[in-house]
Amino acid sequence: MEIKKVAFEKPVLNGEITVPGDKSISHRAVMLGSIAKGTTSISGFLDGEDCLRTIEIFRQLGVSIERNGTDVTVDSPGMDGWQQPADNLYAGNSGTTARLILGILAASRVTSVLTGDEYLSKRPMNRVALPLRSMGASIEGESDSSNLLPLTIKGGALTAIDYEMPIASAQIKSSILFAGLAADGETSVSEQTVSRDHTERMLEQFGVAIRKEGNKVSVKGGSVLSGTAVRVPGDISSAAFFMTAAAMVEGSSVTFKDVGLNPTRTGILDVLEAMGAKIDILEQSDGLGEPYGTVTISHNGLHATEISGELIPRLIDELPIIALLATQAQGVTVIRDAAELRVKETDRITAVTTELKKLGAQIEETEDGMIIHGPTALSGGVLSSYGDHRIGMMAGIAALVASGPISIEDPSCINISYPTFFNDLEKLAFPVDIQG
């Protein structure tokens, strides 16, 4: 097994970084560029493994996609011109690829088999397959319940639905809206708690008229998409690792350039502020869909907070690193209403609790969250990534506050969302010793 060992002697983080492109926005840019007729130019694309899977799938469907680093050009005949894929479509580890593409394939004219890696093959697909089937989609698995990949999708005519989501999930919302683009009638999705809205913003950029009423969003079937230019800002979920590091390590101050500031994603900034970190934000916008800006996070002491309710979907992917942060804060931090963490790339409640306990953290698992007592001195140790990029990065950041080296088992999963994570760690933290 591959192992990476990270050690520091009294580190301080200082400097400026530009984190790689937003994963959610990169996926959607390739998907909508492929559905649209014509050319879509994407800049700032995340060249991480998950988004590369999305590109590969659309290439198999006959869409021409050229990538030069973080610049991607999609040339599509439009959804009606896609070809029958010669092989299964492989989503790798990417839940976003699988769930969003299910909605797209259901509305297409092709028949395909969608597969995933060992982790993705255990993650629930019924959350999208059930509403899609109620639109008339033909999605079949190996068993009758067919909640798991591989799934066979026979594209065909769909009927619009008015769907109330049982959980706050942008993946479900997006999958249904994508299917709704080709359905007969107007498809609506309502959510009780607001989830990330990149799909809604990008649909408008591609020329689709969407209707919003409170927490309900609707698209009309037969909407025509035209290729466009998409600029992907830095991923705040990647920046969150070094934002947290800067907030934890005394004397640190880190600036993040061109990072996404979509309000449905900035829960991490609210938490850092509530816990006492100093935050400076210079917001910019190019008027193209997504707000972004320059953010500086500086250490300023840390105290506990409570994280629950509507805040959860705004920082769902940041909860592993927030748990580490809480081990260094004065008081008891409580995380509630986050049962969704159990069906991410791994069960993140069990994974975070197990791994942080190995370092001496006082952390308890609850059904829908964690309770963390701080501050605690952490020791070094050998931590597993569980093949989950965000657990692997949490382990890397833990080395900044641990008294000994941290070894990360299976660190390559970090390439899924942040291929330059260790470069940025070396750039910002001094002195650093990374082996393996």
Q: Under the criterion CB under 6 A, does residue 385 sit at the interface with ligand S3P?
A: no
Binding of ligand S3P by 120 (CB under 6 A): no
Site string for ligand S3P, 7-36 (x = CB under 6 A): -----------------x------------
Only segment of 118-126, 136-144, 164-172, 211-219 that touches ligand S3P (CB under 6 A): 164-172
Contact 223, 208 (CB under 8 A): yes
For residues 345 and 340, give the distance between their C-alpha atoms in angstroms, rounded to a whole number.
Answer: 11
Closest CB to ligand S3P among residues 316, 414:
316
Interaction of residue 317 with ligand S3P, rule CB under 6 A:
yes
CB closer to ligand S3P out of 169 and 333: 169
Catalytic residue check, 317: yes
**Binding flag, residue 268, ligand S3P (CB under 6 A):** no
Q: What single string gives the DSSP state of each residue in 149-208?
A: S-EEEE----B--EEE-SS--HHHHHHHHHHHTTSBSEEEEE-SS----HHHHHHHHTT-
- Of all residues in the shown chain, the one whose CB is closest to ligand S3P is 24
In whole angstroms, what is the distance from residue 420 CA to residue 242 CA? 12
Binding range to ligand S3P, per CB under 6 A, among 74-82, 85-93, 116-124, 163-171: 163-171
d(CA 357, CA 353): 6
Q: Taking the complex as a whole, how short is the minimal distance between the CB of residue 176 and ligand S3P, in angstroms? A: 12
Q: Which is nearer to ligand S3P, 258 or 317 (CB)?
A: 317
Stretch that binds ligand S3P, among 36-44, 166-174, 181-189, 396-404 (CB under 6 A): 166-174
**Residue written as token pair 């629950």:** 308
Among positions 169, 244, 252, 353, the unique one binding ligand S3P when judged by CB under 6 A: 169
CB of 76 to ligand S3P, least distance (A): 21
Check residue 50 for interaction with ligand S3P (CB under 6 A): no
Binders of ligand S3P among residues 269 to 308 (CB under 6 A) are: none
Whichever of 171 and 252 has its CB closer to ligand S3P, that residue is 171
Cα–Cα distance measured from residue 208 to residue 222, given in angstroms and rounded to the nearest whole number: 10
The residue type of 216 is K
Between 255 and 266, CB nearer to ligand S3P: 266
Is residue 338 within 8 A of residue 365, CB to CB? The reply is: no
What would the DSSP string read from start to end of 253-321? Answer: EEEEEEEE--TTTTHHHHHHHHTT-EEEEEEE--SSS--EEEEEEE----B--EE-GGGGGGSGGGHHH
Closer Cβ to ligand S3P, 40 or 174, answer by number: 174
- Smaller CB distance to ligand S3P: residue 191 or 380? 191
Distance CA 413, CA 418 (A): 9
> Which of these ranges, 81-89, 155-163, 167-175, 221-229, lies near ligand S3P under the rule CB under 6 A?
167-175
Is residue 197 near ligand S3P by the rule CB under 6 A? no
Please state whether beta strands 111-115 and 138-140 pair in parallel, antiparallel, or not at all (unpaired). Answer: unpaired
Cβ distance to ligand S3P smaller for residue 100 or 399:
100
| 21 versus 374: smaller Cβ distance to ligand S3P | 21
The tokens describing 81, both together, are: 């011109």
Cis, peptide link before residue 431, omega less than 30° from 0: yes
Quote the least distance from Cβ 123 to ligand S3P, whole Å. 9
Please name which of 232, 243, 372 lies closest in space to residue 296, comparing C-alpha atoms.
243
Question: Is residue 171 close enough to count as binding ligand S3P by CB under 6 A?
Answer: yes
Q: Which stretch binds ligand S3P (CB under 6 A): 62-70, 169-177, 213-221, 270-278?
A: 169-177
| Residue from 317, 347, 388, 433 carrying the catalytic annotation | 317
Which of 165, 180, 111, 160 lies closest to 140, judged by CA? 111
User: Closest separation between CB of residue 338 and ligand S3P, Å?
Assistant: 10
Secondary structure (DSSP) of 25-75: HHHHHHHHHHHSEEEEEEES---SHHHHHHHHHHHHTT-EEEEETTEEEEE
- Residue 316 interacting with ligand S3P (CB under 6 A): yes
> What are the φ and ψ backbone dihedral angles of 95, each rounded to 5 degrees?
-65, -35
Question: In the chain, how long is the greatest CA-to-CA distance?
Answer: 62
Encode burial over 127-138: b for 16+ CB neighbours within 10 A, e otherwise: bbbbbbeebbbe
What's the chain's Rg over C-alpha atoms?
A: 21
Q: Which 75-114 positions form the footprint of ligand S3P (CB under 6 A)?
A: 96
Residues 6+ apart with CB under 8 A from 365: 349, 350, 353
Q: Is 170 an interacting residue with respect to ligand S3P (CB under 6 A)?
A: yes
Q: Report the catalytic residues.
A: 317
**Interface contacts to ligand S3P, rule CB under 6 A:** 24, 96, 169-171, 174, 195-196, 316-317, 340
